[in-house]
């Protein structure tokens, strides 16, 4: 199968959800169910494509790349995409700030799958400080600048780290930027003193001693899963729901291919994503992942985070986090787990 990626502008993607990837031979010969899948960068579309797991799929997959969880959420609400990529805590913020209470069977959005890195060396999300700025602990952020982006687990990492620090918002300068590309660039260039976000984008700075890890997502009890979130109407459409289940099963098989082909993945990140060899090596190991079950244990952990954020007045509504998860897709992502 051959395919071509066309990078859309954000405006064009939100307006028209331009075709980026068609799965399966002969797809133009007859109408097929179509899923528009949003992702925040090109890594998963590229590795899924290279793995060949979508060969022969009886539906179309169209990848739309939109940086940042806020863009993914906007595209979901506008129906520019059917499924969006974000962090596991994104819907806590959405439901927690919703003016309309979420009701079972009528949820606007639900998480259908989640995955995280398998290498314990790379905690998914971290808060780091610049060594040159003398930031070695969270308390050292008094009077300093701290970058984050809104909408996902990077934001929750920032919120919970700030609560853990004991500092008030007037004790440091919050710097909210559009997405992780912007926040990490600001941190690495020395324009801000702290950063909350993915380990992989600052891993080289940590290894060279330029950055100091202040708090990890694991220490804060954040599951830190990358997740795919679907619109409620997509999940209520039998054809799209069936296609989504099959797609997730194929992505699960892709993770097995990924683990067995890390040399090929590393080369792909260099040639297609244009990462440096050092960055590609780190990214390959960091992104070697497996699907995790959307089970009662995960929901309990997410509920604790929601309760902490409510008590801290970071979200105005006390919510039921279980409404945010569609656990029936465990049969496709972790088939050995009983729901």
pLDDT of residue 121: 72
Q: Does 24 share its domain with 86?
A: yes
Q: Does 229 share its domain with 303?
A: yes
Give the whole-angstrom CA distance, residue 151 versus residue 141: 22
Q: Does 208 share its domain with 269?
A: no
Q: Does 135 share its domain with 235?
A: no
pLDDT of residue 2: 34
pLDDT of residue 24: 42
Segments forming the whole domain that contains residue 52: 10-119+225-333
Query: Cβ of 205: how many Cβ atoms within 10 Å?
Result: 18
Domain boundary residue, one of 148, 183, 216: 216
Domain boundary residue, one of 172, 197, 216: 216
Q: Does 28 share its domain with 104?
A: yes
Give the closest residue to 122 by CA, choosing from 232, 29, 204, 5: 204
Q: Does 106 share its domain with 246?
A: yes
Q: Does 169 share its domain with 308?
A: no
Give the Å distances, CA to CA, from 101 to 87, 95, 150, 171, 320.
21, 8, 21, 34, 10
pLDDT of residue 119: 73
Q: Does 160 share its domain with 252?
A: no
Q: Does 250 share its domain with 300?
A: yes
Give pLDDT tens digits for 277-291. Answer: 998 998 998 889 999
Give me the number of domains the chain comprises: 2
pLDDT of residue 25: 40
Low pLDDT (below 70) residues in the chain: 1-30, 337-339
Residue 68 belongs to some domain of the structure: yes
Give pLDDT tens digits for 182-232. Answer: 999 999 999 999 999 999 899 899 999 999 999 999 999 999 999 999 999
Q: Does 296 share its domain with 243?
A: yes
Residue 338 belongs to some domain of the structure: no
Q: Does 129 share its domain with 275?
A: no
Record the tokens describing residue 42, joined without a space: 């090109």
Residue 37 belongs to some domain of the structure: yes
- Whether the CB-CB separation of 293 and 336 falls below 8 Å is answered with no
Residue 5 belongs to some domain of the structure: no
Residue 187 belongs to some domain of the structure: yes
pLDDT of residue 21: 40
Residue 1 belongs to some domain of the structure: no
**Chain centre distance of CA 201:** 14
Record the tokens describing residue 266, joined without a space: 């590393």
pTM: 0.83
Domain boundary residue, one of 170, 188, 216: 216
Q: Does 113 share its domain with 229?
A: yes
pLDDT of residue 6: 39
Q: What is the CATH number of the domain that holds 177?
A: 3.40.190.10
């Amino acid at each position: 199968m051959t395919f071509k990626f066309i990078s859309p502008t954000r405006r064009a993607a939100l307006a028209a959800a331009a075709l980026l990837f068609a799965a399966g031979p002969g797809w133009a010969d007859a109408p097929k169910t179509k899923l528009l899948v949003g992702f925040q960068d090109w890594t998963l579309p590229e590795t899924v494509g290279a793995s060949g797991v979508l060969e022969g799929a009886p539906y179309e997959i169209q990848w739309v790349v939109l940086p940042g969880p806020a863009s993914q959420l906007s595209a979901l609400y506008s129906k520019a995409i059917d499924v969006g990529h974000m962090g596991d805590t994104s819907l806590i913020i959405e439901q927690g700030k919703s003016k309309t209470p979420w009701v079972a069977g009528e949820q606007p959005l639900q998480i259908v799958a989640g995955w995280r890195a398998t290498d314990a060396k790379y905690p998914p999300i971290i808060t780091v400080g610049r060594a040159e700025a003398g930031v070695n602990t969270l308390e050292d952020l008094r009077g300093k600048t701290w970058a984050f982006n809104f909408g996902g687990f990077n934001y929750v990492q920032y919120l919970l780290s700030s609560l853990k620090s004991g500092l008030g918002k007037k004790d440091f300068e919050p710097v909210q930027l559009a997405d992780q590309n912007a926040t990490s660039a600001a941190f690495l260039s020395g324009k801000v003193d702290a950063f909350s976000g993915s380990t992989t984008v600052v891993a080289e700075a940590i290894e060279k001693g330029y950055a100091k890890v202040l708090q990890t997502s694991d220490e804060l009890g954040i599951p830190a899963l990358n997740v795919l979130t679907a619109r409620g109407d997509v999940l209520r459409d039998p054809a799209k729901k069936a296609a989504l289940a099959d797609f997730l099963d194929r992505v699960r098989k892709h993770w097995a291919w990924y683990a067995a082909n890390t040399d090929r993945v590393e080369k792909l990140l260099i040639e297609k994503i244009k990462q440096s060899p050092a960055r590609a090596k780190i990214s390959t190991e960091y992104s070697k992942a497996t699907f995790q079950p959307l089970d009662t244990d995960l929901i309990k952990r997410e509920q604790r985070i929601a309760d902490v954020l409510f008590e801290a007045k970071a979200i105005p509504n006390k919510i039921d986090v279980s409404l945010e998860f569609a656990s029936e897709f465990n049969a496709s992502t972790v088939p050995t787990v009983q729901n």
